[in-house]
Amino acid sequence: MRELILSDVDDIARGAAILGAGGGGDPYTGRLLAEAAIEQHGPVSVVDIVEVTPDAVVVPVSFMGAPTVSTEKLPSGQEAIVALRTLENVAGLKATHLVPIEIGGMNSVIPVAAAAETGLPLVDGDAMGRAFPEAHMVLPTLIGVSCTPMVIVDDKGNSMVLDTVTNQWAERIARAVCAEAGCSVFTVDTVLRGDQLADGLVPGTLGLAQRLGETVRVSMDPVQSVVDTLGGRVLITGKVADVDRRTSGGFVRGEARIEGTGEDRGSVLRLSFQNEHLLAERDGELLTSTPDLICVLDNETGEPVTTEGMRYGNRVAVLGVPCDRRWRTPEGLRLTGPRAFGYDHDYVSITGGTK
Amino acid sequence: MRELILSDVDDIARGAAILGAGGGGDPYTGRLLAEAAIEQHGPVSVVDIVEVTPDAVVVPVSFMGAPTVSTEKLPSGQEAIVALRTLENVAGLKATHLVPIEIGGMNSVIPVAAAAETGLPLVDGDAMGRAFPEAHMVLPTLIGVSCTPMVIVDDKGNSMVLDTVTNQWAERIARAVCAEAGCSVFTVDTVLRGDQLADGLVPGTLGLAQRLGETVRVSMDPVQSVVDTLGGRVLITGKVADVDRRTSGGFVRGEARIEGTGEDRGSVLRLSFQNEHLLAERDGELLTSTPDLICVLDNETGEPVTTEGMRYGNRVAVLGVPCDRRWRTPEGLRLTGPRAFGYDHDYVSITGGTK
């Protein structure tokens, strides 16, 4: 067990925004929430997966919606706690730990805020090892854990408890509610027992985010430091020449075009995203795809550039980073490969070949 | 208290489809469900509002969705019971009576089926005195009764419990869920105590529907018999010349054009509908509007023609029928007048003038 203090939040938010592959919601808003909660309630206890007892009740708390909206429609900070208490009442359980559902922007620091407010320890890990746009795209789905009961709470005070026959139905219905409620809600779902964490979580991603955030802050060559920390490679260095972005169906979707500079002059990288970056094609060749991570960084500072923050003229480096190995299995690819998002492509791994 | 037997269902379904003002869902499907339930479980007890004790727990059960869909996507018959039991568990209550939320097509006979299956008595009345397309358009909204907790159940086994800050939010979120779940769900909501029935229900509408259905079945001049029973008047007699109908956002919406025949030759009546008929304009003049009832009948048989059943060539009589007086108050009109549906019209009453 270790303590997470106020000054750690900035590094975690930065690192998690890189691991979020462009998504996970605006890290700035989440950071403010987490910092305010720690200032008021004190530091958060963080435990490793191996420290958690088998009968522990580990609850993910998260934001659901379009990142474009989260930057303008700010949460009250109480939604996550209301959702947690509602779930406890409905399901007749008592949370012993909190955990991020994904490691990405807002959704890696929302649980920090909730842990500070409730005094519950936070498990170091998450259910994706990155951010994915849809609620059922979590490792627990692969091991048969239900997303429901799922509690959804909005900023107006509306709440609901959802029970569905599949995790994909939980995503579909929750997304419809999310869109109607203004594309920004808080959810508590996919409760895990302590003995399900090894299979249901990617371990250590909160610590990884913190180290990554620190590396970027102190390094003289931050982009290279990110590659050294995460593996993978730089797909292009260049300038954002075009962003076509629309907020529809509770997501932000679109494409971006990066024109190469320096050694990459003459090349063009095309990114396709749905909250997160999903495909990276260079000069017509698919270089890497979901579930591998496609991360866009400011080329000078190494700061993460989210899908909703990307602007014409940004000087960026685009990285391909290998995903957790469980996503590369046939079941994993069915859930999170390119075809799960409607693209007519097989998975192309950043570590080589089509798996 | 009286008994409702198998042979009563046909008349109730017919009469309720007339009172449904074109909406309430396909009465044929609902009738089959109710007849099957009575055949299996025996007759249903029907009680008048004045027979219900003040501490009774009166629960409306209903179908929500687009009538166009309900004719093709048939319910399993168990959805309403599952929804009822879920509500009882969540809200910690025990239903003593069931009641229709609206008197219209399917939604007047679904509660008959549920009453037969559960053995609970059915209250003779409903919360609208007609059918309206949206869940918050009920008399209980006017007296401050919440629609929530609302339980929503679909045919696949998905369910949810909704708690909202206003009844309009219950409608918005439930409709989004309904659309995602295939435009056809069952809902249990707007629970009333016995002492709220006088203000929250229109009394006697189940019995009225039965008398009306019988009248149409036996009368030599069924259209005139309906006018004699309900009041109001015939707006036009003619032929359906055009129907523009689309299923969108969980509703069926559209317009229909009726060309006058006989004494009405040369005149054209234009109907606008959203599940139910909402406006009737003859030769450009608004003759009557929601919340008054606009009912389309087969001109020969008096059988009701629903908004989803209306076809080119149908010979029809269109009736305007006065609504319950509580809908004509300023609060009632704010909830169910033309402007509540986005029409730039004041209410025009069938009994004369703009109220």
B268-307: b (≥16 Cβ within 10 Å) or e: bbbbbbbbbbbbbbbeeebbbbbbbbbbbbbbeebbbbbb
Instruction: Using CB atoms, pick whichever of B90, B163, B176 lies closest to residue A177.
Output: B176
Tokens in use for B70? 């309900």
What does the DSSP 8-state code read for residue B329?
Answer: S
- Omega of the bond prior to A133 within 30 degrees of 0, cis? no
Enumerate the residues of chain A whose CB falls inside 8 A of the CB of residue B179.
Answer: 176
SS (H, E, C) chain A: CEEECCCHHHHHHHHHHHHCCCCCCCHHHHHHHHHHHHHHHCCEEEECHHHCCCCCEEEEEEEEECHHHHCCCCCCCCHHHHHHHHHHHHHCCCCCEEECCCCCHHHHHHHHHHHHHHCCCEECEECCCCCCCCCCCCHHHHCCCCCCCEEEECCCCCEEEEECCCHHHHHHHHHHHHHHCCCEEEEECCCEEHHHHHHHCEECHHHHHHHHHHHHHHCCCHHHHHHHHHCCEEEEEEEEEEEEEEEECCEEEEEEEEEECHHHCCCEEEEEEECEEEEEEECCEEEEECCCEEEEEECCCCCECCCCCCCCCCEEEEEEECCCHHHHCHHHHHHHCHHHHCCCCCCCCCCCCCC
Enumerate the residues of chain A whose CB falls inside 8 A of the CB of residue B164.
Answer: 157-159
Domains B2-205 and B218-341 alike in fold = no
Confidence (pLDDT) at B354: 46
Predicted confidence (pLDDT) per residue in B197-238, tens digit: 999 999 999 999 999 999 999 999 999 999 999 999 999 999
Tokens in use for A250? 């509770």
- Omega of the bond prior to A75 within 30 degrees of 0, cis? no
Query: Residue B121 and residue B202: Cα distance in Å, rounded?
Result: 17
- Locus of tokens 């109480």: A78
β pairing state of B57-65 and B97-99: parallel
State the count of interchain CB pairs (< 8 A) between A and B: 57
Crossing angle (nearest 10°) for helices A105-118 and A8-19: 140
CA distance A177 to chain B (A): 6
Confidence (pLDDT) at A70: 65
Helix (H) or strand (E) holding B168: helix B167-180
A313, exposed or middle or buried, with CB in 10 Å at 0-12, 13-18, 19+?
A: exposed
Instruction: Using CB atoms, pick whichever of B158, B169, B175 lies closest to residue A165.
Output: B158
State the pLDDT confidence band at A354, using cuts at 50, 70 and 90: very low
Higher-scoring residue by pLDDT: B120, B248: B120
Asked whether the beta carbons of B139 and B57 are under 8 A apart, the reply is: no
Confidence (pLDDT) at A27: 75
Which of A147, A177, A178, A187 would best serve as a mutation to test chain B binding (most B beta carbons within 10 A)? Answer: A177
Least trusted range by pLDDT, from A76-90, A228-242, B218-232, B286-300: A76-90
Enumerate the residues of chain B whose CB falls inside 8 A of the CB of residue A161.
Answer: 90, 160-161
β pairing state of A122-123 and A44-47: parallel
Return mean pLDDT, chain A: 93
Closest CA in chain B for residue A174: B177
> Percent of chain B having pLDDT more than 90?
81
Which of A180, A185, A187, A189 would best serve as a mutation to test chain B binding (most B beta carbons within 10 A)? Answer: A180
Enumerate the residues of chain B whose CB falls inside 8 A of the CB of residue A164.
Answer: 157-159
Query: Residue A227 and residue A266: Cα distance in Å, rounded?
Result: 23
Closest CA in chain B for residue A86: B163
- Locus of tokens 């079945």: B217
Closest C-alpha to B279, from B225, B209, B342: B342
Query: Residue B171 and residue B169: Cα distance in Å, rounded?
Result: 5
Query: Residue A228 and residue A290: Cα distance in Å, rounded?
Result: 21
Closest CA in chain B for residue A158: B164
Enumerate the residues of chain A whose CB falls inside 8 A of the CB of residue B91.
Answer: none
Query: Residue B228 and residue A282: Cα distance in Å, rounded?
Result: 76
State the pLDDT confidence band at A130, using cuts at 50, 70 and 90: very high
Instruction: Using CB atoms, pick whichever of A165, A172, A173 lies closest to residue B160.
Output: A173
Query: Residue A327 and residue A292: Cα distance in Å, rounded?
Result: 8
Instruction: Using CB atoms, pick whichever of B157, B163, B180 lies closest to residue A160.
Output: B163
Q: Are A158 and B169 inside 8 Å of each other by CB?
A: yes
Instruction: Using CB atoms, pick whichever of A163, A175, A179 lies closest to residue B160.
Output: A163
For the residues B55-83, what does the mean pLDDT come to? 82
B218-341 CATH: 2.40.390.10
Enumerate the residues of chain A whose CB falls inside 8 A of the CB of residue B172.
Answer: 180
The residue type found at A101 is: I
B→A contacts (Cβ < 8 Å), by residue, are: 90, 156-165, 169, 172-173, 175-177, 179-181
Closest C-alpha to A177, from A162, A167, A165, A195: A162
Confidence (pLDDT) at A69: 65
Asked whether the beta carbons of A106 and A32 are under 8 A apart, the reply is: no
Q: Are B156 and A163 inside 8 Å of each other by CB?
A: no
Instruction: Using CB atoms, pick whichever of B90, B162, B180 lies closest to residue A176.
Output: B180
Which of B136, B148, B177, B189 would best serve as a mutation to test chain A binding (most A beta carbons within 10 A)? Answer: B177
Top-level class of domain A220-341: mainly beta
Residue A355 pLDDT greater than 60, yes or no: no
Confidence (pLDDT) at B70: 65
Closest C-alpha to A208, from A321, A61, A64: A321
For the residues B82-107, what does the mean pLDDT come to? 93
Enumerate the residues of chain B whose CB falls inside 8 A of the CB of residue A181.
Answer: 173
Instruction: Using CB atoms, pick whichever of A156, A159, A177 lies closest to residue B177.
Output: A177
The dihedrals phi and psi of B258, each to the nearest 5 degrees, come to -115, 125
Residue B250 pLDDT greater than 80, yes or no: no
- Omega of the bond prior to B43 within 30 degrees of 0, cis? no
- What are the sequence ranges of the domains in chain B? 2-205, 218-341
CA distance A65 to chain B (A): 15
Query: Residue A261 and residue A315: Cα distance in Å, rounded?
Result: 9
- Strands (E) in B127-204, as ranges, are 150-153, 159-163, 184-188, 192-193, 202-203
Angle at alpha carbon of residue B272, lines to B146 and B67, rounded to 5° = 60
Asked whether the beta carbons of A130 and A295 are under 8 A apart, the reply is: no
Helix (H) or strand (E) holding B230: helix B222-230
Which of B151, B180, B185, B187 would best serve as a mutation to test chain A binding (most A beta carbons within 10 A)? Answer: B180
Predicted confidence (pLDDT) per residue in B21-53, tens digit: 988 777 788 888 899 999 999 999 999 999 999
Domain B2-205 in CATH 3.40.1610.10: yes
Q: CB A218: neighbour CB atoms within 10 A?
A: 10
State the pLDDT confidence band at B106, using cuts at 50, 70 and 90: confident
Query: Residue B237 and residue B266: Cα distance in Å, rounded?
Result: 11
β pairing state of A268-274 and A276-282: antiparallel
Q: Are A163 and B164 inside 8 Å of each other by CB?
A: no
Q: Are B181 and A173 inside 8 Å of each other by CB?
A: yes
